[in-house]
């Protein structure tokens, strides 16, 4: 059963996972410390970005249009021109590309502004800006959020990236709740799989912002290869691959500070009751992290890699480790019911070696 998580902490995870956090994370300290104010804070950033784009000019795109004109533009459509006897009226039917402001990026911003007007009803600025976008011709439907990564990669939208990232985060924050008062999740669309992926992406964003300035490299979904010495002709097609959720590597590849931490995230309890009524670690998770580490041991020339099985929980706290064949393997949890400062401290503590070391 998916645990009840305070909605402000789900918003905090969405902040950590967002492209906006990666781009301007240092400016989001206030929102990070007070996630209950996050919708208003992000909405304000979106309003500032849209205001600037309206003053400097919205990005435009091309839309294929077909209609009668009094002059030739683009390609002449002979059949509709003859069928409707347009030449006798001094017209010709043409198909051409028309410059419009009704682009996916602008539609995303407009939809986010309307959402902001709902989330922060006492602020009239958001509704006013949404109406200004509509007056500028931005009237189409909001694109699916799955298209946002593609918008970030478009070269012509460089000036819109902060607006796109802010709108994306704001629309992600618009989550219905199931309990009166709007304090708890899950909602119908907040299933365990979504929360597991969100937690994984949040950890990636958090570690990148906090650790990369300290010389760490943070990799996400890195593929691993089996250390094979022989493979039959058909084995390549059926041998399953391995993919790391998160990999942390310190840039000091030769010094004593060199570390490599392999992290696998889950969204289930870290322990389970055995047949004798005792709580034990889930054996499948131990085998999984062990396989990740041992399959790469032959290619390692530096100090041995570490494994971290990271679980989000509500109320439960586990932080234990064991060294197996020279590899430190840690099993740790972070409490999603804790306040934002404690949540951040717990995430950093999971990669901090125990004092006993």
Domain boundary among 157, 185, 213: 185
In this predicted model, what pLDDT tens digit does every residue of 115-124 receive, in sequence order? 999 888 899 9
- CATH number of residue 295's parent domain: 3.40.1350
Specify whether 235 is located in the same domain as 302: yes
Structure tokens at 168: 């994306």
- Tokens encoding 289: 């992290």
Q: What integer pLDDT is reported at residue 190 of this predicted model?
A: 55
Q: Beta strand 260-265 with 306-313: parallel, antiparallel or unpaired? A: parallel
Looking at the fold, whether 174 and 314 belong to one and the same domain comes out as: no
d(CA 40, CA 329): 41
Give dist(CA 90, CA 71) in Å, integer. 9
Residue 355 lies in a domain: no
**Shared-domain flag, residues 86 and 163:** no
Total number of domains constituting the chain: 3
**Strands of 260-265's sheet, edge to edge?**
216-224, 242-250, 260-265, 306-313, 327-335, 319-324
Q: What's the mean pLDDT in 229-253?
A: 85
Does 136 share its domain with 223? no
Whole-model pTM?
0.78
Neighbouring-strand partners of residue 313: 335
Residue 316 structural domain: 192-349
197 shares a domain with 321 = yes
In whole angstroms, give the CA distance from residue 289 to residue 309.
Answer: 7
Nearest of 284, 57, 22 to residue 160 by alpha carbon: 57
CB 321 within 8 A of CB 329: yes
Query: Domain ends where: 185, 215, 241?
Result: 185
Inside any domain, residue 356: no
Sign of the torsion angle spanned by Cα atoms 26, 32, 34, 36: positive
Q: Would 338 be classed as within a structural domain?
A: yes
Is residue 166 domain-shared with residue 206, that is, in the same domain? no
Q: What does the pLDDT look like over 309-341, one tens digit per residue?
A: 998 887 678 888 888 888 899 999 999 888 888
Report the first-to-last Cα separation within the chain, whole angstroms: 37
Residue with tokens 């039917």: 93
d(CA 239, CA 315): 39
Residues 266 and 288: beta-carbon distance below 8 Å: no
Q: Does residue 340 share a domain with residue 217?
A: yes
**Complete DSSP assignment for 69-134:** ESS--SEE-HHHHHHTT-GGGT-EEEEEEEEES--HHHHHHHHHHHHHHHHSTT-THHHHHHHHHH
**175 and 292 share a domain?**
no
Write the pLDDT tens digit of every residue in 124-173: 999 999 999 999 999 999 999 888 889 888 888 888 999 999 999 999 88
SS3 297: helix
Q: Which of the listed residues 70, 100, 130 is the one where a domain comes to its end? A: 100
Given a cut of 60, whether residue 186 has pLDDT beyond it is: no
Assigned domain for 354 exists: no
Residues 207, 333, single domain; the answer is yes
214 and 327 belong to one structural domain: yes
**In the chain, % of residues over pLDDT 70:** 86
Domain identity same for 114 and 222? no
140 is a domain residue? yes
């Amino acid at each position: 059963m998916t645990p009840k998580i305070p909605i402000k902490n789900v918003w905090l995870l969405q902040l950590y996972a967002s492209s906006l956090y990666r781009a301007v994370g240092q400016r989001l300290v206030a929102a990070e410390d007070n996630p209950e104010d996050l919708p208003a804070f992000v909405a304000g950033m979106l309003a500032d970005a849209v205001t600037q784009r309206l003053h400097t000019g919205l990005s435009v795109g091309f839309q294929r249009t077909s209609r009668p004109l009094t002059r030739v533009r683009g390609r002449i459509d002979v059949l509709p021109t003859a069928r409707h006897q347009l030449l006798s009226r001094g017209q010709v039917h043409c198909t051409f590309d028309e410059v419009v402001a009704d682009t996916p990026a602008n539609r995303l911003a407009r939809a986010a502004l309307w959402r902001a007007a709902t989330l922060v009803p006492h602020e009239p600025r958001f509704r006013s800006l949404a109406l200004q976008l509509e007056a500028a011709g931005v009237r189409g439907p909001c694109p699916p959020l799955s298209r946002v990564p593609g918008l970030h990669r478009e070269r012509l939208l460089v000036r819109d990236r902060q607006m796109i990232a802010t709108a994306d985060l704001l629309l992600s924050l618009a989550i219905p709740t199931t309990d009166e008062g709007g304090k708890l999740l899950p909602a119908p669309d907040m299933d365990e799989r979504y929360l597991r992926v969100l937690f994984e992406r949040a950890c990636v964003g958090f570690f990148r912002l906090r650790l990369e300035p300290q010389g760490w490299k943070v990799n996400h979904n890195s593929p691993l290869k089996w250390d094979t010495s022989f493979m039959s002709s058909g084995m390549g097609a059926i041998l399953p691959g391995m993919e790391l959720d998160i990999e942390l590597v310190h840039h000091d590849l030769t010094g004593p500070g060199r570390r490599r931490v392999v992290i696998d995230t889950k969204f289930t309890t870290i322990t389970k009751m055995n047949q004798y009524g005792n709580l034990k670690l889930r054996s499948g998770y131990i085998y999984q992290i062990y396989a990740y580490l041992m399959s790469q041991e032959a290619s390692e020339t530096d100090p041995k890699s570490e494994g971290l099985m990271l679980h989000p929980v509500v109320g439960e706290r586990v932080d234990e480790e064991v060294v197996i064949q020279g590899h430190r393997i840690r099993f740790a949890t972070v409490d999603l019911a804790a306040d934002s400062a404690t949540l951040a401290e717990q995430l950093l503590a999971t990669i901090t070696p125990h004092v006993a070391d």
